[in-house]
Each structure stands twice: as C-alpha cells, then as structure tokens.
Structure 1
Amino acid sequence: MKVYLFILLLFFCGITYSQTTITGVVKDVNKKPISGANIKIIGDSAGTVTNLDGNFELKSSKNPPYAIEVSSVGYGAKKIDIKSNNQKVSVTLVDEETLLNEIVVSASRTPERVRESAVTIERMTAKDIKKTASPTFYDGLENLKEVHMNTSSMSFKSINTRGFATVSNTRFLQLVDGMDNSSPLLNFVLGNLIGVSEIDVANVELLPGASSALYGANAFNGILFMNSQSPFTNQGITAYAKFGQTSQKAAGNNDYYDYGIRVAHAFSKHFAAKANFSFMKGTDWFATDYRDKDLDNNVGLDRSFHNYNGINVYGDEATTNLNGVAKGLLDAGRITQSQFNSFNQILPNYNISRTGYNETDLTDNVVKNAKADMSLHIRPWANDFEIILQSKFGTGNTVYQGANRYYLNNFFMQQHKLEVKGKNFFVRGYTTTEDGGRSYDMTFTALNVNRKWKDDNTWFGQYALAYVQSTLAGQTPQQAHAIARGYSDNNIVPAGIALPAATGSARFLPGTPEFKKAFNEVIANPDVLTGSRLQDNSRIWHSDANYNFKDVFKPAEIQVGGSFRLYELNSGGRIYTDANGQIDYREFGAYTQVQKKLMEDRLKLTGSVRYDKSQNFDGNFSPRVSAAYSAGENKNHNFRGSFQTGFRNPTTQDQYIGFNVGSAVLIGSAPDNLTRYTEIRGGGGANGSISATGQAILSAINGRPTSTVTLNGENAYFNSYTAASARDFANFARANPTNLQGAAALLRKTNADYVKPETVKAFDLGYRGQIKDFAFDINGYYNIYNDFLGNLNVIAPYYGTAADNITLTGAGNPNPAVSTEQSVIAIANGDTRVFQLYTNTTLEIKSLGFGLGVSKKIIKNFEISANYNYAEFQFDQSKDKDFEAAFNTPKHRVKASIGNEKLFKNFGFNLSARWNSEYLWQSNFADGMIEAATVVDAQINYSIPKLKSILKIGASNLGGQEYQQVLGAGLIGQQYFASWTITP
C-alpha cells in the first residue's frame, strides 16, 4: 500500500511534458455558458471539460492542424478546426430536443446511440446530478423510470427494478468502473457505501431487465453501471460541502453533513492520476414499529401478549412452552413430584417469550460512510490503449435488514483492480475483500444481554412459578401472565401471592452502567450462545475480458468475452458452515455477440449467447435476440424488441449458509452443507425446553432420561412439515380441541429439493421517439420464471417421522409409540424448530409491466417530464402456501418533475414528485402491507462564476408525510440540506 501511495505521489509531483494549449468558451444559442461540455481532439486521447463559465483549456503535445469535437448532453456536437497553437475558439452548441443521440455502452457492450439500443435503458449524466433535488445522486436514481428503492437505512438503499427484491437484492448487479461492488459474504450490493463520489460520476446507465446474456447469472433482473470521470479529460480540484438536518417524529431533528474532494491531473498525454475522498455522517431513521410480527393476527397483540414478538423489539424471540417448564423445574429439584403434578395441570400448553429491548436501545443510530479511491492511468502510446490501476475503500456504520436487523458497525470493504483496455478490448482483474468490523446482530444482542442478567432457565422457571401461584390465588390468566412477568423481570411480589423473594438485580435497563457493560461484552463476542458479533473476512477474485472484432471483420460486429470468479467464504462459522475452514466456490462464463446494421443503418439486429458454469451445477446457455428500427426522416421514431432466456445460479448463501437467527435457522441446501450445521435443542436455557410429554417420548426412544435433541440440516429438508400446514393444524386444534385427528390430517410433509438455478424467458418491447416537441419512451415486458428461487419456512419436530395423511390409532389421539404419530405430538406441544430453506418452487411465476415516459422543453428553458409504471406478478399461492415470491413492488408508480437550469441569471431550480400505491412486503424478517406514499423533493441552485462555485438548497419529502419502503425499517422523514460545490 505504501508503494502504491508513493507512486501516486510521484505522479502528482511529476514534471509535465512540453505542451500546446488551446483555450475557448462554449455557450448555447442564448449566449449562456455550458458547463461540463466535453472537448476532445479527434484521433487523439487528449480532452477536457468546460468549467462553470463554459471556459476550457486543452493541452496537448500534438501540433496543429487538427480538429476538436465539442459535445454536451442535450446539444448537438460540433467540430472545430485548430490551425495554430494558443488558438482561442468560441463554440455555440444548439439544443437537441431529443436525447436519442446520446451514446450508451452498457446495452451491447459497445458504444451506440440510445436510438439504436434494442433494450430498455435509463441514463443519468453529470448534468442530471447537478439538477437532482435529492440529497445524493444515488437517492436521485429513484426518479428514473422503472426504479423503486428499498430503504433499510438512511445510507443503505437497494435498487429494485421489475420486482422480486428485498434489501438483499441478489437479482440485481451493480458495476462501478467495471467492478461488481457486491459484498463477498452477502452476495448483494450495499447501496453506494463503496461506490463512487457524486463529484466523480461521469454517467450512470441502468438496464432494468434481464441481462444475463452479456453480464452473467447475477444480472437477472437488472444492472446498474456507474462510471467515474477520467483524469485525462476531467482535471483539477473539485470539492463539495453539504450540511443539513433530518426530521422524523421518532428521532426528532438531527444534523448531518457530507463533504468530499476530488483531485485529478494529467501530467502528459501518457500519464494521469486522480484521488477521491468523501465522508458522510448523520442520524438514522429510528425504527419504532412495535406491532407483533404476526400481523395476520395482530388485533390486540401488543406487549401485554404472553408470546409477544415485536417487529422492532429484540430478545423476545427467546420463547418456550410454558407447560414444558414444569418438567425442567422437577429435574432441577426446584419442585416436588406432587408440585409437578399440580403445575402440569395449571400451566398452559403454549409458548411465552422473554421481555425484549427496543431497537433504539441497541444502536446509537449513527450512520457514517467514508469512501476513498485512487487510480493511476497510463497511456504508453498516442492512442486509446490504457492501463489502469485502481483502489477503492469504504467504511462506515449503517443498518442492514435480512432475517434480522444488523448494525454494520465500522465495516470495511476494499477493491483493487488492474485493467488494460483499448479501442476494441479490455482485460481486467480485481479483488474485493471485506471485514465485518464490530458489526452485530441486534436479535442476539438483546437475547444475550438478557442472559447476562438472568439465564433463560431461571427466568422461565420464575415465570412458571409465579403464574401457578397467581392462578391458585384466583387471578385470571391475563392477570397471572402480568404478575409472572413482573416477578421474573423486576422481582415484584404482589400482596397475596405466595412467592419467594427474588434475589439479584432487576432487569438491566438501557442507559445504566450494567446494561452498557453487558452490551459491549455481547457485541464483541461472535458465539451466538453468548454474543452477537458478525465475523466476516470473505473475499472475491474476479477477472473478465472482451474483444470486439469490428476492425478485423467488416460484414458484422462480433464480440467475444468471458469471466471467472472465485469466492472465499470466511465467517468463522458465524454465518456460513465454515467453522472448520474457508469454503471456496468457483464459477465461470463465456459469451459471444453478433450485430449487423441494415437498411441504411436504420435496422440493427443483434444476437448473443452466454454459457455459465458453477462448480455445483450444470452449465446454462443464455441466448438473446433483439432488433431496433429507426423510422422517420430524421430517425426520430425508434422501435425495439428483444427476447432472451436468462438464468441465475443460487448464491453462496443459498448453498452454504447455516445461520442461527434465534427464531429460526437459515440453512443452505448444498448437499455437504446439511450435515455441517448441527444444533442441540431443549434442556432449557438458550435452546428452550422440551415439553414433559416430549421428554418422556425421547427417553423411551433413547432408553435413558433425555431432555435434549440434536438437529441438523437434514431434519429441515427431509423430516419437517410446511409452516402453512402447521399453522392450519394449530388453528384447527384450537377451534376443535376434541378432534385431534382432523388437525393431524392437515399436516403436510415438506417436499423441498436441493436448490438449483432459476430461469426466465424475458420479452421486451419499446418505442423511443419525438412527436412535435414531446419526447416519448414507452416500454412493456413479460417475464416467465421457472424454478424460481425463494425461501420456504418449515417446522421440524424434535421426535417422530413427518408424513402426510396421518391416521391416529389411539382412539383419536396420537400413540406415543408410533413414530409418525410422535411427530403429531411434537407439533401439538411446540417441540419443534423453525428452519428457513433455500429452494425452488415448482410453479411457474409470471411478471408483466409497462412504462410510459414523456418530457418536453417549454418556454424559457423550462423542462417538464413525467412517467408512469405498472407492475404485477402472477403466482398461485394456494398451490404453494409457504413459498414467498417477495415481489415487493407497487402496482402503480407515478413520477414527475419540472425544472429550469436558467430560471434567471445564475439561478436554477428543480421540483420532483413521486407516488406509489400500497403493496405487499414479504421478507425473512416480516411480512405485511406497505402503505401508499407521496414524496416531493425540491432544490434551488445559484452559480457564482467568479468563485467557480454552485450553491444549492434542497429538501426531500417536502410534504412531511413519513413513509416506509421496507417493513421493519424506520419511517423516512424529511431531509433538508445546503451544499457548496467548487469546480475547476
């Protein structure tokens, strides 16, 4: 690292070569300066951009005569002949009323105009970033057509295009300068936490549909490209400072700030370097949803409910069968056999939970993000051949929501890349590593802070004792539960209740020294039985290459390419089943594409196919065919269509996870993974108690007294019941307590196979064009998914054999000596473990949608735009009750904006609004409805040419109605900011 920095320093301190200089100014037809315009020497790599005044200075070792090209998004390009050194030029660019001539690269891995693209594509330029009313450019992506954000934290947003996405969107790929910046451990993107600084963004391109044919298995439902600026063309020092406040009912008003600097210099036409640094800090949106997670039966379920499990309350996942506690008290010698018989008659046969802690007690709610990157760019010859050495670093604090809520505390990610590219090729290799820092799981933090104060056996024992004595004293069940909780939590002995005086302190309260000490010890410990730290030192090695034969073979444009990736999973057994050593996993792919233009370049035909192979699965081919046709005299009416079959390999989590999240175990289905995960259940304490009946059955099976059972992944996949049928069993048994046979008949054995790749057949049609002064972009899609990957919750009995259509032989009651009927007893008594499986549904899933966008420039430089998106999916839930497709996308979305960069001298503004309908949220953490939301953002900006500065004042969610995008995350409030940006 020191050598790398030393080399960078040498470049920054280097001696420049002898150069010629061209200066000039670029303006529009109204004589207004155009900032950010590109100036490039035709046939040479030298280039620059204009500053806020529209001025530029271009240095080159090339001697005149030559020509330069001046271009800017939204304007027609212009060529200027340069005849002498130190020539001064003045260029006027004419507005283009259409963006159809913009150049994009992502759609076909080769430069092409937007009108030639055969797939739907959205784009954000540096000019758009300047106009955005959002606090950051990444937030501003939500205003693009087809984009819906899933916000887990103020600094952690996940992009969702075309549905089927939670916060952990493994169907979406994000590339920064060609590098996948997904987490090696988690397999998905952490927003822009190790992305690109907004002052270094050259452009952003978004493909919202399946892109597997060119980009591999992870680009299943969309791909985002973030490209940074080259130090050869964008030089100088750029800096920004942003200060503001967030406002939320739960959190109040809190300051936040964000600042960054970019330094870039081209020492000659051969050497250039740049460095970026940015830092953001603020207060996160407080998560304060205290409804019970069982939202389907949430009427009256609050903290007084005996088995309460609040959405943003943790530690209440510690739950056990109250009737089973009596046997534990007997075995521990705390009650006599006579008392046991009495207790067994009084204690109800259902679960109770420990008292939990609110999320706001378990995190300081600070969000931070520091990003740094540096790169060296070497052009040995006077052409497009370039060598790039690049390093990126990201660290900070944020909240990620998966099966639990996790505080990523001082996490650290880094990427290092070596790339060689030219006019028609690139070869790159990079590595991504991460360190979990002091990150922790909030559920296990609360569970184990509770256990440091009082172990589960003691707490549940005191609860059971207090419940019995309260019942004997004539209290109602509700009153008995309240007394029992007060006794076990706070040592409260009500008058008239025969209870021994409890010893020891009351429950640790947040803010007290006892709580802080226990909290710090727990989050430093990775053992789930006593701690909550998330260990992670995983790594990805990746390489890919591409070559375009267009200068070798003229009849058609042919490309070939390929990639290789190695995962090194290293969580120390905390998340993956890698306690005994690192897990290595490999995959590779290769592709080719052929393009041909016909009919005077109006028709463009493209065919491509990619082959991908991973070590645990058979290879898959992903073909794509597409066509784009430009009609009209000026090619202003552009029609496109494409079809492809894509696929997605199961992620490393789908295969190798073995993650105890307290209320369930997440278990991957690689065959060698199932036996690597083992867990002892029962015996009281952290792993709960087995009912007295269950202990008797286990003792009979083992021929000795038994109060524990060992489970592994094979129990989950091969000896379990679907969670839906277990719920049906429980509901029927409560309504018909004398008809256990009817309840038993409802149980359905899990029939889950090992996870395998999912596939999609994707159809995409669209039109881009200009009709009079209106620009239109219309698209529609229809996707057919097979072997769709998802999660399945199952209930594994501690004893007995799971089976369908069980007939009870004991006069309508299960016979404890019959293995299949033993499993019925286990379900009835709560002697079970919940597992979440990674598997495929056998049902076909379909999704369809369409979008319409329209924009227009009106009088005096006002620009207005609006778009509408419709999205839905089709899945017969009744045929697979437990499978969650997690579409998580509103059916209707409307977005609109109005702005003027030149409202009057040096002033501009932008106002944007978006609305979405309500939608169902499904995830490992919680299921429920997300309400409809309307959000308005606004900004005004003022340019100070003499100071080369832009001042901006903005506000997001101006209306103040707090809204949610992820069930379990905090409500999103208002955000106000003022920023100052200095440009070269």
Structure 2
Amino acid sequence: MKIYLFILSLFFCGITYSQTSISGSVKDNKNQPIPGANVKVAGESGGTVTDSDGNFSLTTSKKPPFDIEVSSVGYGSSTVSVTSNNQNVSVSLSEQETQLDEIVVSASRTPEKVRESPVTIERMTIRDIKKTASPTFYDGLENLKEVQMNTSSMSFKSINTRGFATVANTRFMQLVDGMDNSSPLLNFVLGNLIGVSDIDVASVELLPGASSALYGANAFNGILFMNSKSPFKYQGISAYVKYGATSQKAAGSNDYRDYGIRVAHKFDDYFAAKANFTYMNGTEWWATDYDDKTIDGRDRSHHNYNGINVYGDEASTNIRSVASGLLNAGAITPAQFTVFNSILPNENVSRTGYNEIDLTDNKVRNAKIDFSLHLRPFGNENLEVIWQSKFGFGNSVYQGANRYYLNGFSMQQHKLELTGKNFFVRGYFTTEDGGSSYDMLFTGLNINRAWKPDATWFGQYAGAYVQSTLLGATPTQAHTNARNVADTGRFLPGTPEFQNAFNQVTSNPDVLVGSKLVDNSKIYHSDANYNFKDLIKVAEIQVGGSYRRYDLNSFGRIYTDTPQFGGIKYDEYGVYTQVQKKAMDDRLKFTGSVRYDKAENFDGNYSPRVSLVYTAGEAKNHIFRGSFQTGFRNPTTQDQYIGFNVGNAILLGSAPDNLTRYEETLPVTSPLGQALVGGTSTTIDGNNAYYNSYTAQSAQAFAALAPTDPIAASALLVRTNVDLVKPEVVKAFELGYRAEVKGFTYDINGYYNIYNDFIGNLTVVAPLYGTAQDAPNPLLGPTDPGAQSIDALATGNTRAFQLYTNTDIEIRSLGFGVGVSKRLPRNFEVSANYNYAEFDFDQAKDPSFEAGFNTPKHRVKASFSNDNLFKNFGFNISGRWSDEYYWESTFADGMIDAVTVIDAQISYGLPSLKSVIKAGATNLGGREYRQLIGPGLIGQQYFLSLTINP
C-alpha cells in the first residue's frame, strides 16, 4: 500500500473517479471468437481490445446508462447499451468491410478511427499478420502501400517511404512499444534485429512522409510503430516453429529455421508479466556482383579492376609513379629509372582482391529476448507501470560506404514507463556492442598487406611489366605476366595461411593492419505526453516533449572519439502541443500542432502541422483530408562526428569541433612537396577537407587530361566551396480521400514536398601541400601556392574525403497512391494499390551532389486471399511489381531492374490444438532480383510453420 500511495503522490493523473466495469465477449456470426476487436465507450476515444478468446473487460468513469461500440477489421460495428455496473455483454459482429472504423493511435498520438486520421496511415493487424505470405510479419510490410523495402541481407531490411531510400535510412524512424530502436552509433534502424516477435505483435502502423510535428527530427520521411501484446489482454503460452529452405544460384539450397515462444500471465488485476524468445538462422544471399564499381563493362582481366563484391583491389596506384619510389629506395639505378619511366604506362593498377563470399561465413543468425513486468496500482488502466527489457543478438551484413559483417553484434534496450488513460511518461536507454564485427574492405586490403606490403607488390609488378615488355610482350600480356609474378605466394582462401591472416586482421581495430569494428555507444531518451480532454471540453489539447543524449564510443574506430579527445556526448530536446476540434455535427475535424526542437550544435527548429478532415455522405463514408506541415531533420551523429577511413576516402563529419578532432599524418613523395613540408610526411586535419580541397569531379577531370595538356587540365580544377552541415527542412503538402462504396474500400492520397538544405555527401580531394584555387596556373612556378597544389595532385600527394554538407539547390518530390480493397462472397478478399513517385533536382547547378532518390517511379502491389476457403483452410497470394530505377550511394551506383515478385501461402487450422499449419513460398517465379547495388541477389524461400496460440 505504501508503494501505491507513493506513486499516487508523484503522478496527479492517478486520481480516480467512480468507476463502471463492463466485461464480455465478441464473436462472429459463426460463433467464433474475434481477437483484437476494438471496444470503446461511445463518444470517447479510449478503449480496449479483445484477447485471443474474444473476451474483454473495460472500465470507465461514466455512469450507466451509456453505449459501448464494438468493431473489428472485416466486420460490421455494433452498439450495445450498458445499463448497470459489472454488466456482462455478448456481442456478435457480421462480416463486412469496415476498415475506416479501425482504431489507430499514431497519426495524432490519440486513439481515433482511421476515417478521422489527418494524414495517410497504413496498418497491419493481427489478422493481416496471420495471413501474410511472407516468412515474417516484418517481411510482409513490403506489401503495404507506400512501403519500399531495401534488402541489405536476409535479416537486415530497411523500410522507406516517399523517396530518397538508403540502407542506412536516417530519415525514417521505427518505434517498438514507444522506443526508438535505431542504432546509437549509426542512427538508423537495423531491421527487426531488436524488434518484436510474430506471435507478440498486436498492431503495426505506418505514417509515410514527414511526421516531425509530433515525433521530432528523425521522423522526417516516415515512421513505423510496432506495438506488442499486453499480458493483461493476451495470456498463455504461444509458440511457433518454422523450417524451410532458401534457394539461390550462387549459394544453392540451404536450410532455414525460425523458432519462437511467448509466455504471458495475468496474476491478478494488479500484476502481469510476459517473456519472449525467438531464434532464426539460415544462409545469407551470397553477394557475387563482380562488375567494376565505376567502369561499365570492365572485368577482372583489367589491370585496374575494382569489383563491387571484391575487397582488397581498392589498393591502386599509378604504375609509372612506382619507378620514382624504386629509385628513392635504391632498388633501381638512375639508368634503370629512365628505362622504367619510358616503358611503364601512365595508368593505375590495382592489387588482386578477395571475393566477399570468402570473407564471411555467409550465415545469418538472429536471437531476440524480451521480458516485461506490468503493474496496475489501482487494478485498472488508469495507471500502469511497465518495465521492459529487450535484447537482440546476431550476424548480418550491413552496407554503408563499405560492406560490413555484423558478427556477434548485440543491442539492448531497457524502459520504464508510466501510462494511463490520458498520459504517458517513459524513459529508456539503448546500448550496443559491435562484437566481432568487421569491415570487409579493410579485411581484404590487410590480408593482402599481411602477406606482402603494397609498396613491395607494386614494385614487383612494375619490374615484371618492364621485363615482359623488353621480351616483346604486348601491354595486355605484360599486365597479365606482372600480376602473376606479384601474386606469387598470395594467401588463398581455404589455406591455413589465409585463415591465420584473416583471424589477425578481423580482431584488430587499427585500419592500418586490421578491420574490426569497435562500438559501445548509448542513447538515453525520455518523453512524455498529456491529453487534457477530460479537463478541457472545448477542444482536445495535448502537450508533450522529449529529451535525448547521445554517448558515442567507437574508440576512435568510426568516430573521432579517440583517447586523445575522449568520448562524444551531445543532447537534443523538443516540446510540442496539438489541438483537435470537431465541428459541423462532427463531420469536420481540425488538427493543429507545432513542435520546437533544439540540438546542441544547431539552432532550434519549429515544425508546424495543420490538417482538415471532412466526412461527407449520409453514412459518413466519404472522407476528404488535407494537411500541410514543415518537417526538419537534424544532422545525424555520422553527419557531425564521423572520422572513418573507408579506404578510398575518409568519411568526415562537419561538427565544428570535429574538424580539429580528426588528424592524420600522411607520407609526402614529391621532391617539391618534401621541400615545402620540411620532411617526408605531413599532418592534415578536417579543415583541409572543407577549406583547402578540390571537388572530386574536377580532380578526376584534371587527372584524365594532365598527361597530355597540363595547362588545360589545371583550368578544370574547382575549389571546394561548401558550408558545414546544418538541418534540412521539408514543406509537405498532402491531400487524401478515403471511402467505402458498395463494399469497396478506397484510399487515395497525393503529396508534394519541397526540400531545402538537403543533406548529402560530397567527395573532395585535398592536396597535402599548396592552396586549392579555382583554375590555378601551373606556369607561375613552384613558389605559387596554386601551382604547388597542382604538383600535389599530379604526384598523388592527396587525401580524398567524403564530406557531409547541404545543397543550396531546392529539391522537390511528388507522388500519389491509390489503394482499393473488396471483400467478396464466400470469404474471398482482393486488394490492390499503386504508387507513383518522382523528384526534381537540377543536377547541372550542383554537379557533385548526389541526391540519391533511389525509388521506382511506378509500383503495383496486389493480393488475393481467403482465410476460410473451406473448414479451417485458407490461402493468400500476393504480388508486387516495381519499375526500374537508378541507385546512387557512397558504396556503388547502378541501375536496378524492374521486377515482379509473387509470394503465396496456404494454412490449415487445428482448433482442437489451437494451432495453425502454414506452408509458404516467396518469389515463386524464381527470377533473382536486387533492391540496391551491393547485396546478393534475392532468390526463393520456402517454409513450413506450426503456430500454437492459447
């Protein structure tokens, strides 16, 4: 009792009133229970849902008589009169389309019918999850309207909406039971690694497009809500076992297993608890794209090959420049140097790399554990205290600037939440451990270097090339002979020498000799919301806010958090308010909200949203909506503090203090450069990248022309002129229409977005000496700073950087979506949707900036199902088609082909065992496809599952 009084004294919203309790059951017209049905008091937005047996209990401060409303997707609604306290009611619902009456929460942070939602909302119910033709509910999200899925590996899938797709999707937020489950280190969601189990999902809601007005900076391009089942409502032991196979031309056929169990118990009206465990393992889609990253048509036979899924061949140098190094090292005489210099071609040669499939075990694993304790001090929903802990472990492949194998990666979240009828207060923290994860590019590079240093390999290559040429070999033959000589004794996959080198490299975080990724970063977050609807009747008013602290700790491997400078910590906070008001006999609903957010390194931002929803028709079955909002996105931790060597460039964040936190000492080989820096090396920092560099595009143009016309080549150079990164802003306009007409449900929406200060990447080349200038003049001689920078470029004394900055060019995107569904006679259902997406960016005005829209212009999805074709038997067939589109990223660019994918499943229920058997297959056509450049082609997957629900 003391605990109860203590909580009561802290939280004024625990004040209780005279209560009326109602209990009962909800069944269909075949006397079968309907789980997940919504039950609410007429005129109020709050309510409850039925459990797996169709039972419910509801407590309200209203005194009888009053009405309760009961509804469920696929059934008509029903109104029942309550005339006394503790009344028990039985409700029967008839099957029909009533999707517009489904209750959602995410659009306005308050329960409301779909028909009243001020913005587009997509959802997946328990019923949808049960009938999905995909291996998991998370995979099944790909069939929702607006959703674009980007598959980096079998267990790492990134959801995107409305364009600008990436694997590292920092513009999209994912909440699991109110917790942002993005990586603290990387700021983006790792698929369902630490999400929720199929048998613990209560509902999934998706808001495509800008949602910053209520949810802050990271909800810039959309937000996904995954809500798990309450142990007060869903009790007992549930379990599933899934077995099958994956099939891919490169990897062959391989076993696939997925297991899960959920245990939940309501001890009494005051206390309940639950625990979940799932485990999945299989074989990864093998990544075997051996096209060259930059030159179409180039293959392994080329002397400067850089394969997409080959690592170690990034080590490349101008073979003619090797002669100078051999001369300086005393390996050749001046006379031999003259011969070398006349024979060696003025072109780059790369080392021989290793295939990705030789640098991983190609296995995917994921284990999820979570448990929660639920305390209701007053025995009802007026106050509930929740402690929840979630753990995710596994192996997967993540693709960013490079490909990374997340080996033994783990992430955990812990939350304390107090929630009631009109409020919530929660705090949680997220922490992760990189385990034995490693960077595949540096794995390949440093296995090669462990066998033979780059200088030695290139020296041997140059010597063999010259010797072959003197013996009469053609240039092609000379390159082949030179590689064979330089590669003699190379560590080959499968040998003990290779394995020993692999083990040493992947266990060392020093990029000069190793490839291990080190991470122990954390996020601390708290947020709160209060709804004044019981205190203020003129309108529904909410207020809320959030606070977040980032604590980055990569030990200097990824960020500039080296021991010299210490860890990186910074804060963000935000506050918001929302007003909703109905008029015209509740046919017109106004929603207005505004949010203010402040990040430590940037000025504050306001995000307003205004929307109107009008319900027309005698049956209120035509709903029109329009909204406008301004959203923003703060630069991520990567945008601000990364200092990551990815081989061909340094990824460098632009927080003001980060420019000096990053330092690197590099060798200087040019005689002029050595005279200028006073030695054979020099130290540079981030200021060189932002304030003394050339755009990579102009540096490449210079390199191509310099051997034949150095003066004209110098005129092509363009000095980098960029600002430090700042928040990006979007103005989002949306119109929509929902309707139910003659059994058809329609949902049509269109949007138009205007982006300013869009955040992207810019690659630059910084000379190690001299001063970068527009069109420097080499004729001014070695005393001129511009001419000195030309010498640095010509002799390879440079460092490439990938900067995070904003474009000054306004970017616009537009699109629309159409969805229609129909429940046919004899329990058949059919649905289809179409999405169009386009963007406008004047590339000529900012030629070095990559917007990365990465989205098909046209997408079509459809499904045909019947969950009761005959007794206990159901099926579902779903298909999707997407147009071809161009993929741009820091890893690789390329065209993604148009693709058609068909998935299907059949199910059979065993009521006596409370079980369902399901058999399914994905990509029935068998044509392998990809959704971005880099990962393996997606093949087929077959599975057979048994699910037991109490």
TM-score bracket for this pair, using the shorter chain length? over 0.9
Unaligned runs of 5+ in 1: 1-20, 491-505, 684-689
**Residue from 518, 521, 530 that aligns with 1:547:** 530
User: Residue 224 of structure 1 aligns with which residue?
Assistant: 224
Change (3 A) 1:370 1:351: same
Distance 1:212 1:422 in 2: 24
Q: What pairs with 1:756-905 in structure 2 (closer than 5 Å)?
A: 756-809=726-779, 815-905=781-871
- CA-based RMSD: 2.5
Secondary structure in structure 1 of the residue aligned to 2:779 = coil
User: Residue 881 of structure 2 aligns with which residue?
Assistant: 915
**Residue from 465, 486, 509 that aligns with 1:526:** 509
Per-residue deviation, residues 391-422 of structure 1 (Å, max 9, x unmatched): 00000000000000000001110000000111
1:748 to 2:725 alignment: no
**Structure 2 residue identity aligned to 1:512:** T
Change (3 A) 1:842 1:182: same
Checking the alignment, whether the CA contact within 8 Å between 2:36 and 2:54 is kept in structure 1 is no
Per-residue deviation, residues 925-961 of structure 1 (Å, max 9, x unmatched): 0011111110000001000000100000001111101
Distance 1:648 1:84 in 2: 52
Alpha-carbon offset, residue 816 of structure 1: 3.6
**Structure 1 residue identity aligned to 2:200:** D
**Structure 2 residue identity aligned to 1:976:** Y
User: Residue 391 of structure 2 aligns with which residue?
Assistant: 393
Alpha-carbon offset, residue 313 of structure 1: 0.1
Distance 2:589 2:86 in 1: 43
**Structure 1 residue identity aligned to 2:862:** A
1:698 to 2:696 alignment: no
Alpha-carbon offset, residue 639 of structure 1: 0.4
Secondary structure in structure 2 of the residue aligned to 1:447 = helix
Secondary structure in structure 1 of the residue aligned to 2:167 = coil
Secondary structure in structure 1 of the residue aligned to 2:299 = coil
Secondary structure in structure 1 of the residue aligned to 2:123 = strand
1:712 to 2:685 alignment: yes
Distance 1:333 1:824 in 2: 27
**Residue from 480, 483, 501 that aligns with 2:481:** 483
Checking the alignment, whether the CA contact within 8 Å between 1:48 and 1:234 is kept in structure 2 is no
Alpha-carbon offset, residue 307 of structure 1: 1.4
Checking the alignment, whether the CA contact within 8 Å between 2:77 and 2:98 is kept in structure 1 is no
Change (3 A) 1:72 1:400: same
Alpha-carbon offset, residue 70 of structure 1: 5.2
Change (3 A) 1:582 1:212: same
User: Residue 633 of structure 2 aligns with which residue?
Assistant: 648
User: Residue 935 of structure 1 aligns with which residue?
Assistant: 901
Secondary structure in structure 2 of the residue aligned to 1:700 = helix
**Structure 2 residue identity aligned to 1:640:** R
User: Residue 119 of structure 1 aligns with which residue?
Assistant: 119
Secondary structure in structure 1 of the residue aligned to 2:323 = helix
User: Residue 346 of structure 1 aligns with which residue?
Assistant: 343
User: Residue 949 of structure 1 aligns with which residue?
Assistant: 915
Distance 2:55 2:115 in 1: 30
User: Residue 184 of structure 1 aligns with which residue?
Assistant: 184
1:370 to 2:340 alignment: no
Checking the alignment, whether the CA contact within 8 Å between 2:34 and 2:50 is kept in structure 1 is no
Distance 1:45 1:556 in 2: 16
Checking the alignment, whether the CA contact within 8 Å between 1:44 and 1:382 is kept in structure 2 is no
Point out the more displaced range, 635-644 or 448-457. 448-457
**Structure 2 residue identity aligned to 1:203:** S
Distance 2:59 2:111 in 1: 25
Change (3 A) 1:173 1:401: same
**Residue from 423, 427, 430 that aligns with 2:428:** 430
- TM-score, length of structure 2 as denominator length: 0.94
Distance 2:721 2:692 in 1: 9
Distance 2:742 2:408 in 1: 54
Alpha-carbon offset, residue 658 of structure 1: 0.1
**Residue from 607, 613, 629 that aligns with 2:614:** 629
User: Residue 571 of structure 1 aligns with which residue?
Assistant: 554
Alpha-carbon offset, residue 33 of structure 1: 5.1
Distance 2:665 2:303 in 1: 25
User: Residue 960 of structure 1 aligns with which residue?
Assistant: 926
Distance 2:275 2:482 in 1: 61
User: Residue 9 of structure 2 aligns with which residue?
Assistant: none
User: Residue 327 of structure 1 aligns with which residue?
Assistant: 324
- TM-score, length of structure 1 as denominator length: 0.91
Checking the alignment, whether the CA contact within 8 Å between 2:282 and 2:363 is kept in structure 1 is yes
Change (3 A) 1:653 1:450: same
Alpha-carbon offset, residue 59 of structure 1: 12
Checking the alignment, whether the CA contact within 8 Å between 2:40 and 2:70 is kept in structure 1 is yes
Checking the alignment, whether the CA contact within 8 Å between 1:26 and 1:93 is kept in structure 2 is yes
Alpha-carbon offset, residue 661 of structure 1: 0.6
Change (3 A) 1:46 1:740: closer
Unaligned runs of 5+ in 2: 1-20
1:680 to 2:680 alignment: no
Checking the alignment, whether the CA contact within 8 Å between 1:133 and 1:954 is kept in structure 2 is yes
Checking the alignment, whether the CA contact within 8 Å between 1:45 and 1:269 is kept in structure 2 is no
Per-residue deviation, residues 255-303 of structure 1 (Å, max 9, x unmatched): 0100101111111111111111101000010000001101xx323x111
**Structure 1 residue identity aligned to 2:537:** K
Distance 1:47 1:873 in 2: 42
**Structure 2 residue identity aligned to 1:713:** G
Alpha-carbon offset, residue 544 of structure 1: 0.6
Alpha-carbon offset, residue 831 of structure 1: 3.1
Secondary structure in structure 2 of the residue aligned to 1:522 = helix
Distance 1:709 1:929 in 2: 41
**Residue from 496, 499, 503 that aligns with 1:513:** 496
Secondary structure in structure 2 of the residue aligned to 1:224 = strand
Change (3 A) 1:712 1:46: closer
1:305 to 2:302 alignment: yes
Secondary structure in structure 2 of the residue aligned to 1:448 = helix
Distance 1:106 1:792 in 2: 36
Per-residue deviation, residues 524-583 of structure 1 (Å, max 9, x unmatched): 111111111100000000001111111111111111111110000000000000012111
Alpha-carbon offset, residue 61 of structure 1: 15
Per-residue deviation, residues 752-776 of structure 1 (Å, max 9, x unmatched): 1110011010001100002222111
Change (3 A) 1:41 1:982: farther
User: Residue 924 of structure 1 aligns with which residue?
Assistant: 890
User: Residue 454 of structure 1 aligns with which residue?
Assistant: 452
Distance 1:46 1:763 in 2: 32
**Structure 2 residue identity aligned to 1:584:** K
Alpha-carbon offset, residue 77 of structure 1: 4.1
Per-residue deviation, residues 811-840 of structure 1 (Å, max 9, x unmatched): xxxx34432122223333433222100000
User: Residue 441 of structure 1 aligns with which residue?
Assistant: 439
Alpha-carbon offset, residue 57 of structure 1: 8.6
Checking the alignment, whether the CA contact within 8 Å between 1:755 and 1:840 is kept in structure 2 is yes
Alpha-carbon offset, residue 46 of structure 1: 11
**Structure 1 residue identity aligned to 2:673:** L
Secondary structure in structure 1 of the residue aligned to 2:127 = helix
Distance 1:868 1:177 in 2: 30
1:289 to 2:285 alignment: no
Count of aligned pairs between the two proteins: 925
Q: Percent identity?
A: 70
Per-residue deviation, residues 447-479 of structure 1 (Å, max 9, x unmatched): 111111111121111111111211222222221
Distance 2:713 2:49 in 1: 75
User: Residue 941 of structure 2 aligns with which residue?
Assistant: 975
Checking the alignment, whether the CA contact within 8 Å between 1:792 and 1:837 is kept in structure 2 is yes
Distance 1:545 1:23 in 2: 30
Change (3 A) 1:612 1:449: same
Distance 1:84 1:833 in 2: 79
Checking the alignment, whether the CA contact within 8 Å between 2:38 and 2:102 is kept in structure 1 is no
